[in-house]
Amino acid sequence: MKKNILVDAHIFDDKYQGTRTYLKGLYSELIPIANNWHFFLVARDIENLKKEFGAHQNVTYVQLKSKNKFRRLLIEFPQIIRNHKIEYAHFQYICPPIKNCKLVITIHDILFEQSEFRKFFPLKYRVVNSFLFRWSSKKADLLLTVSQYSRVKISELYNIPIDSIYITPNAVINNEYTEQAVEARIASLGKFILYVSRVEPRKNHLGLLKAFVELNLAEKGYKLVFIGKKDILYKELETYITNNLAKITGNVIWLHSISNKSLEAYYKNCELFVFPSFAEGFGIPPLEAIAHKSKILCSKNTAMADFDLPDALVFDPNNIEELKYKMTVQLASKEVQLQVYNKILAKYNWLKIAQDYFKLLEKHHNKV
């Protein structure tokens, strides 16, 4: 008899986030190998879910009716769990207050709880989510996170034994692209440096922009491309842009929404990918850049230290002089450290991660 597991996939109804990549990668690999489990994938737009995950005998798509997250958690999910005799339900960060099955909870990070990073998060966000994340983590039968860094912080700040927190990291979904129009558009840019992330103070677009301007890279034929939507007001960045318009106009390009195929092409064609974030619970874009064999520089703060990159490829995001020096070195270098990249990609592989998660589910179910 198959075991029933619900997956809260409402994130596929909303704007792109890392949690979407996580669910897509994990369950795309898990569903074909877990034939003794039946997956109930739940969202408002189930046609979109079908495009993402495809048709499988062990998958049922269930439609949510409400856009309101409180109604969803308070009423709809408990009803779906009861109606479909769900044994396990997988939620990101926050679970329903009514517990009528075993709960798998993934908390990707709790950066907002850490004193050094609180300034990057609005007060309301911190107060509400501090209660909800802590409460949900205590309700979990299987508590997951995406990095050793987050695992340690959740254990410390929420007083949860570290041995009861399991890591299911992110990985890369690497698809080939064939759109010639995309290639032509990117070729027209010439040489460019790339950063992929939504725009907010924690992501440190300002640090990279300052390095670009101070190194006079535009005069050397480079452009700087930022890909990502504005998420939180970033006054310091806007002020810097206003004060340096002559050096920035025409040399710095902001793209807010592009297709996955276009994104892959930008990764493949950039001269250098830089990830200057102050703090991350994981950090998917550096892995995506590695998968496309781009030269990279990555912040060594927080969870990004888990990647174990060599010193030449990492920097302190608070030290702009170090960033400028390493950008200069990498732009002059022709070497792509493929041996390092292959080792990282072997570790962050969705099939391997799904297999480990499957073993964890089976072990927990058999123990119960």
CA 133/CA 139 separation, integer angstroms: 10
**Which pLDDT tens digit goes with each residue over 305-333?**
999 999 999 999 999 999 999 999 999 99
Q: Give the span between the Cα atoms of 256 and 258, in whole angstroms.
A: 7
Number of structural domains the chain divides into: 2
CATH number of the domain encompassing residue 213: 3.40.50.2000
Same domain, 146 and 187: no
- Judge if 232 and 158 occupy the same domain: no
Q: Do residues 198 and 106 both lie within one domain?
A: no
Q: What pTM does this model have?
A: 0.88
Looking at the fold, whether 161 and 184 belong to one and the same domain comes out as no
Q: Distance between CA atoms of 24 and 30, rounded to whole angstroms?
A: 10
Residues 220 and 308 in one domain: yes
pLDDT tens, 221-278?
A: 999 999 998 877 788 999 999 999 999 999 999 998 788 888 889 999 999 999 999 9
Do 160 and 297 lie in a common domain? Answer: no
165 and 17, same domain (yes or no): yes
The tens-digit pLDDT sequence of the chain (368 residues) is 889 999 999 999 987 777 889 999 999 999 999 999 999 999 999 999 999 999 999 999 999 999 898 999 999 999 999 999 999 999 999 999 999 999 999 999 999 999 999 999 999 999 999 999 999 999 999 999 999 999 999 999 999 999 999 999 999 876 655 466 677 778 788 999 999 999 999 999 999 999 999 999 999 999 999 999 887 778 899 999 999 999 999 999 999 878 888 888 999 999 999 999 999 999 999 999 999 999 999 999 999 999 999 999 999 999 999 999 999 999 999 888 899 999 999 999 999 999 999 999 999 998 86
| Nearest to 16, CA basis, from 253, 231, 296 | 231
Q: Which domain holds residue 45?
A: 3-171+349-367
Task: Examine the domain organization and report whether 297 and 237 are in the same domain.
Answer: yes
Instruction: For residue 159, report the phi and psi dihedrals to the nearest 5 degrees.
Output: 55, 50
Same domain assignment for residues 85 and 228: no
pLDDT, position 175: 61
Distances in Å between the alpha carbon of 2 and those of 29, 59, 302, 365?
A: 18, 11, 40, 12
248 and 223 in contact (C-beta within 8 Å)?
no
Question: What is the rounded distance in angstroms from the CA atom of residue 107 to the CA atom of residue 154?
Answer: 8
Residues 354 and 343 in one domain: no
Say yes or no: 342 and 221 in one domain.
Answer: yes
| Closest alpha carbon to 263 in 13, 16, 8, 10 | 16
The 3-state secondary structure of the chain, one letter per residue: CCEEEEEECHHHHCCCCHHHHHHHHHHHHHHHHCCCEEEEEEECCHHHHHHHHCCCCCEEEEECCCCCHHHHHHHHHHHHHHHCCCCEEEEECCCCCCCCCEEEEECCCCHHHCCCCHHHCCHHHHHHHHHHHHHHHHHCCEEEECCHHHHHHHHHHHCCCHHHEEECCCCCCCCCCCCHHHHHHHHCCCEEEEEECCECHHHCHHHHHHHHHHCCCHHHCEEEEEECCECCCCHHHHHHHHHCHHHHCCCEEEECCCCHHHHHHHHHHCCEEEECCCCCCCCHHHHHHHHCCCCEEEECCHHHHHHCCCHHHEECCCCHHHHHHHHHHHHHCCCCCHHHHHHHHHHCCHHHHHHHHHHHHHHHHHHC
Please tell me whether residues 147 and 282 are part of one structural domain: no
pLDDT at 230: 84
